[in-house]
Chain A
Amino acid sequence: MLSKIISRQDLPKLIDALTNDFLVIAPTYDKKVPTFSEVESSSEVEFDILFNEKLPMLPPKKVFLPAKQTVFKYNLIKGVTDSCDEISDAVTHNKNVVIFGVSPCDVSGVGVLERIFRDNYSDDVFLRLHDKTTIISVNCLDHCYENCFCETMSSNDPKSGYDVMLTEISKSKLIAVPNSDKGKKILRDYPELFSQISEKDSEAYIDALNLKNKNFKTEFLVEGLASHVEDSFESEIWKEFTEKCLFCGSCTFVCPTCYCYTVKEIVSVDLKDGERQREWDSCYFPEFALVAGDHNFRETKEQRFRYRYLHKFVDLPRRYNFEGCVGCGRCVTYCPANIDVRDVLKKIIGVM
């Protein structure tokens, strides 16, 4: 078996070893907010976030699709000068990237984005960063907090999208299961940290997975959700929630599967050079579908509120066969108006 064992004590050593070879991104606190950020040593990593089951406020999408990102650079007269390849190398200082401590739902979230950005026309800006990244996931054995409903969205047991999965099999030991060549390479490259797996470890792993199975509960049935949402196009439900919503967009920014963006041109003060920047946008904002001549294709707040659900629960399932939601509950946690996506869906299905 390719899996190996790593002791909990050795995790800091692993991080330190990785920082020599990679740009390492791991959970930390930034002014009391749990977050993913670049670390230079294991002392900066908050293992507490990982093992006391908190989700960083911003999901790992912030690595591939940050709030602001340069797409390419140009000269105003001569045109494009730096393509996105050069720019993504500059962002990572010519290194490969490791994101450490990604929860299974976030692995699924990255998977959703990857498919969307790879399919049809592949978005080089996103994929360049994505493809040089190794994802080390830390498994969840139970709902991490009250807003989590990953089991309902079947995202707590991703089959792909991660390179190594670490699962706690006892207080002191984790099993490291590689899931790609990049993952195997990690286990191979740091032999002093990974030991062979024993029979007892295997059993403990199976026990852990069984425990996981038992602990996770489904809150409602997602089957047929797309038709339900579509059928409720004219329903009063949208109005009810629209009346509470601030349209601040917070839910869309913290969501691991929301990816709308807009672009801006930034020009230097001497007016010689410029760059195109991508910036997070949100379908909740009034100008999202506004075009020249003041025509707005989504004029009312209700239309905007509804569109997010249409996109997540109708368009994406039809197009790709997955929902645009992994049940991480961030949008619930960070909504100043306390709107709960589960309530919206339950009302639509008719179970609330």
Chain B
Amino acid sequence: MRNAAIAHNVGVCTPNNAKIIKITELTHNTKLFEIQLEDEHSNNFFDYSPGQFVLITVFGVGEIPIGLTSTPIKRGSFELGIRKVGNVTNKIHQMNVGDIVGIRGPFGKGFPIEENKHKDLLYVCGGTGYFPIRSTFLYAIARREDYGKIMFLYGDRCPTDVLFPDENDDYKKREDILFHQSVDRDDDKCWEGNVGVVTTLFPNIAKEIDPVNTVVFVAGPAIMYRYVIIELEKLGIKNENIYLSLERKMKCGIGKCCHCGIGDKFACLDGPVFSLDQIRGLLEAL
């Protein structure tokens, strides 16, 4: 596990002032924000492991947890992909380059990517689950030679919701990556690829799976997990090699406010990424 460095010059409960340096519109309701801490030292120091999250504050509105979606290999700034769903996210979407937000973190335990060198990697994600997954995926393909097969299954609700279409097209072209994509519904008949929930993509990779040597990283809406797990078990992948990122309400990010409690664990300290065998032992998890 990479050592997460908390870059705080003010104490962990107070956010660092940070600047939005770039905004990319991804879909009608998602944007990608590139962010830099104002304090240069903290910014240089800022490091994270894929799957970790930060708490981003919109001053005057509130603070929310958002998974880091860039790769820690790239230093000097980081990226957050944010979907508009409520107060804070709506307000972030109205902000401009140069505006100041607050950043606390990175917090939590990410995906064990370094620990699983030389393994085959299978990524499964749905909706905004793409964001945290992207971080570890970018990390792995940047060190392509360290890993075996890399497989990626991505499903989203409809064609207009699809995230990073250009990046996806690049991956699809690459021979060293198996990238498959689908949408749940295609009402306007404008989608050329697969239509159906993400689990319908599994047959595409079933033959490629070496159950003993594959590690799976999953992120998406809560309902997706149940069905994905069934597929993974059909493939014979062991629970301890399946990692899921769980979402919970979070106010502090550091195991104090208790909102993210899952049985006797905290999503912010012990997660958000848990292995499936950990989760099986967790009361109240799925």
Contact = CB atoms under 8 A, between A and B. Distances in A.
A85 B17 CA distance: 16
B263 A310 contact: yes
A314 B264 contact: yes
B216 to A, nearest CB: 23
Question: Which among A71, A289, A303, A314 has the greatest number of chain B C-beta atoms within 10 A?
Answer: A289
Contacts of A292: 85-86, 89
Contact of B258 (A233, A260, A265, A271): A260
A233 B282 CA distance: 11
Interface stretch (A76-84, A137-145, A326-334, A337-345): A76-84
A276 B222 CA distance: 30
Question: Which among A230, A292, A293 has the greatest number of chain B C-beta atoms within 10 A?
Answer: A292
Contact of B100 (A72, A78, A276, A319): A78
A261 B251 contact: yes
Nearest to A125: B13
A122 B284 contact: no
Contact of A85 (B11, B107, B284): B11
A263 B264 contact: no
A153 to B, nearest CB: 18
Interface in A58-74: 71-72, 74
Given A274-B60, A292-B86, A318-B264, A263 B11 contact: no
Contacts of B284: 297-298, 303, 307
Contacts of B100: 77-79
Chain B residues touching A, majority SS: loop
Interface of B: 6, 10-17, 38, 57, 59-63, 85-86, 89, 100-102, 107, 222, 247-249, 251-252, 254-259, 261-265, 269, 283-284
Contact of A259 (B16, B63, B89, B258): B258
Contacts of B16: 80
Given A83-B11, A274-B60, 10 more contacts: A74-B102, A83-B14, A84-B13, A116-B256, A262-B251, A265-B62, A276-B57, A288-B249, A310-B264, A319-B264
A260 B60 contact: no
A261 B257 contact: yes
B249 A297 contact: yes
A224 to B, nearest CB: 15
B59 A315 contact: no
Contacts of B247: 291
B14 A71 contact: yes
Nearest to A296: B249
A121 B255 contact: yes
Shortest Cβ-Cβ A-B pairs, 6 listed: A315-B264, A124-B11, A79-B17, A121-B254, A260-B258, A292-B85
B256 A315 contact: no
A261 B13 contact: no
Contact of A283 (B11, B60, B89, B258): B258
Given A123-B254, A259-B256, A297-B284, A267 B261 contact: no
A265 to B, nearest CB: 6
B12 A123 contact: yes
A347 B252 CA distance: 34
Interface in A303-332: 303, 307, 310-311, 314-315, 318-319
Contacts of A126: 256
Contacts of B259: 260, 262, 281, 288-289
A121 B86 CA distance: 28
B256 to A, nearest CB: 5
Given A120-B254, A261-B251, A307 B261 contact: yes
B261 A80 contact: no
Nearest to A127: B11
Nearest to A313: B264
A235 to B, nearest CB: 12
Contacts of A211: none
B13 A72 contact: yes
Contacts of B6: 121
A126 B263 CA distance: 25
B12 A121 contact: yes
A206 interface: no
A295 interface: yes
Contacts of A122: 12
A271 B85 contact: no
Given A120-B254, A123-B254, A265-B61, A78 B17 contact: yes
B248 A80 contact: no
B261 A291 contact: no
Contacts of B252: 123, 261, 263
Contacts of A291: 247-249
A318 B263 CA distance: 12
Contacts of A281: 251, 257-259
Given A263-B251, A292-B85, A311 B63 contact: no
A124 to B, nearest CB: 4
Contacts of A276: 57, 63
